[in-house]
Structure 1
Amino acid sequence: MVNEDSEMPQLDLDLWLNQELIKRQNKLKSEFLFLLESIGNHFENEFLKSIHPQSKGKKVSKGNDLLGFPYQVLDLIRDFSPESGVNIRCLNWFGHGLYLFLILGDNNFHRNKALLESGFSFSLSESPWDYPEMILEKKITDKLTEIPDLENSLKVWLKSIPLKSDFQTNLNTITSEIKKVAEILHSSLERKKE
């Protein structure tokens, strides 16, 4: 029921009927979805299991409203356990950029210096899913001494990935960044075996 005293919203019919703009936006969403799927297809399940034996593979998902903007997500590995989890996430947040996230449980939280040296920042947000706080409010740190030692919680690292208009360049850039993360995680895995 609408309150009669409140001002009624006005429908932007020009925007609603702007077929070219809507087609352009939908085409862009499809192109980014194809980019994320191509990145995911670049990494075989055996490779993901070599990083983290409990890998559940890869998944692309999407949403329409993160602070009023659509978003798309590619998850690789997909283990979100606070104790032993590992997940590599590409977040494409329309209007804000593309970000690479590394989400780690306690047992895999050993490579802080290597991640900082690779251009990642550590999230100081209380929630591992509060992207506005991490990205917009910059609740992150690039200093080793400011990284808290939190137990039984997922730790989040993030890095902005600048994009070009060329599809292949973006595919190469993002897969290269994921391979760097995999090397850091592999070296951590090898150290644990010693």
Structure 2
Amino acid sequence: MDSFQKPIDLKLWLNADLIQQQNLLKRQFTAIFEEVGSAFSQKELQQISQKSRGVKLSKGNDLLGFPYQVLDLIRDFDLMSGANIRILNWFGNGIYTTVYLGKNRKNPIHELISSGFSFGLSTNQWDYADLILNKNLTDSAPEITGTKLEFYHWIKKVEPTPNPTSLQEGLTNELKKILDILRLS
């Protein structure tokens, strides 16, 4: 029996408290991400990529069955020279910071590893199931150097705090560190 043939859970559907709690969480994270994004000017982002398209907050309801929010900085996804910094808030799975770099950019392996990032080994930069759930990652500099991927993709789990201001400040500081690493590369 497929999931569409199972009885509809009307009790869950009518659980207004649960739905309101989830919507409050979404609004709280949206407000935090808007504050984080507004901390970075286009001029700062263009220091990393002249093709920067700024900051964008996106939301969806079904990343493998879970709602998600994405804050992108730079938004230059060119396979050769692009750069992007992303915060992924994947409900039920966690918050992650990712760094995408085109294959002709310098890959700051040691700097990102020492900052707690792991290198993604997935051939699809958007395959979060493979990267996060399957942990298709490495911290081995020789393995990273030997990869033949068409891009560099780094990922780091963020340990959130329940205090919105502390979380916003922590995420902002994390992104500033990444921008500093990329500026020096």
Q: Under TM normalisation by the shorter chain, which class is it? A: over 0.9
AA in 2 matched with 1:157: W
- Unaligned segments of structure 2, at least 5 residues: none
What percent of counterpart residues are identical? 46
- Which structure: larger Rg? 1
- Out of 182, 185, 189, the residue aligned to residue 182 of structure 2 is 185
- Amino acid aligned to 2:162: S
Corresponding residue of 1:70 = 67
Distance in structure 2 (CA, Å) of the matches to 1:101 and 1:120: 8
Aligned to 1:127: 124
Q: Is the 1:58–1:78 contact (alpha carbons within 8 Å) kept by the matching residues of 2?
A: yes
Conserved in 1, the CA contact under 8 Å of 2:101 and 2:107? Answer: no
| Matched AA of 1:28 | L
Aligned residue runs from structure 1 range 36-75, under 5 A: 36-75=33-72
Counting only pairs closer than 5 Å after superposition, residues 23-34 of structure 1 correspond to structure 2 as 23-34=20-31
Listed as ranges, the gaps of 5+ residues in structure 1 are: 189-194
Q: Is the 8 A contact 1:80 1:86 kept in 2?
A: yes
CA distance in 1, matches of 2:159, 2:34: 18
2:169 to 167, 172, 175: 172
Aligned residue for 1:150?
Answer: 148
Q: How many residues align?
A: 183
In structure 1, how many angstroms separate the alpha carbons of the residues matched to 2:112 and 2:89? 21
Counterpart contact for 2:107–2:152, Cα < 8 Å: no
More moved, 162-171 vs 102-111: 102-111
SS in 1 for 2:21: helix
Could you tell me how far apart the structure 1 residues matched to 2:89 and 2:127 are? Answer: 15
How far has the Cα of 1:45 moved from its partner?
A: 1.0
Match of 1:98 in 2: 95
Rounded Cα–Cα distance in structure 1 between residues aligned with 2:133 and 2:147? 24
